[in-house]
Chain A
Amino acid sequence: QKEVEQNSGPLSVPEGAIASLNCTYSDRGSQSFFWYRQYSGKSPELIMFIYSNGDKEDGRFTAQLNKASQYVSLLIRDSQPSDSATYLCAVSRTSYGKLTFGQGTILTVHP
């Protein structure tokens, strides 16, 4: 079993819809959870992080964490074509800030 697994893509949604990206992790000692966005040919950039159970909202983005189910998700409301990118889920359990990444989910938002 991979340490961090993301829902297989690619995911295609129409403009204005909600995009739902999912991630599961195997290590129950994981403490912090991150969502990065990576545009084609660019480096990953942080969208959100979460470390408490429940929801965390930032503009059109909502991260959800359920530690009992070892599940973290990212919802993008009112999806825009500019949201088209690869979304990377990352998990950390150590104080060194070492991140373990999932394989990424490609999201396409079509007009």
Chain B
Amino acid sequence: DVKVTQSSRYLVKRTGEKVFLECVQDMDHENMFWYRQDPGLGLRLIYFSYDVKMKEKGDIPEGYSVSREKKERFSLILESASTNQTSMYLCASGRAGVGTEAFFGQGTRLTVV
């Protein structure tokens, strides 16, 4: 079974803190993604990576950065957390190619106070 593991299920951080969300996959997938999910807005892509050290902005990259130093690990960084970044964050991975599905981690519920 494909496994995508996010480092935390719940996080509470203060405004202005630098926040790291970690994601690890064990299927040697080329692609990895970070989405956030908010009620009524569905899943919105923040960043994705198609190879080690390669990254592309998604639809809502502002206030976020990413790092992919190893194929299996993709980190999302909130440079200075703000209350409007309170959300559910979902990491996903998938093989390269058209039509390949994305496998999701369990999600991290981040609350910024």
Kindly identify which residue among B48, B90, B103 contacts A98, using a CB–CB cutoff of 8 Å: B48
Tell me how far the C-beta of B96 lies from the nearest C-beta in chain A, rounded to whole angstroms. Answer: 7
Contacts of B44 in A (CB 8 A): 101
Within 8 A of A (CB), among B7-59: 31, 33, 35, 40-45, 48, 50, 56, 58-59
Query: What number of A-B contacts does a CB cutoff of 8 Å give?
Result: 69
For B94-113 the 0/1 string (1 means CB < 8 A from A) is 11111111111111000000
Contact B33–A103 (Cβ < 8 Å): no
Complexed CA–CA distance, A2 and B64 (Å): 23
Complexed CA–CA distance, A51 and B42 (Å): 22
Chain A interface (Cβ within 8 Å of chain B)?
4, 31-32, 34, 42-46, 49, 51, 88, 90, 92, 94-104
10 contacts across the A-B interface (CB closer than 8 A): A31-B98, A32-B99, A97-B95, A97-B97, A97-B98, A97-B101, A98-B58, A100-B59, A101-B35, A101-B42
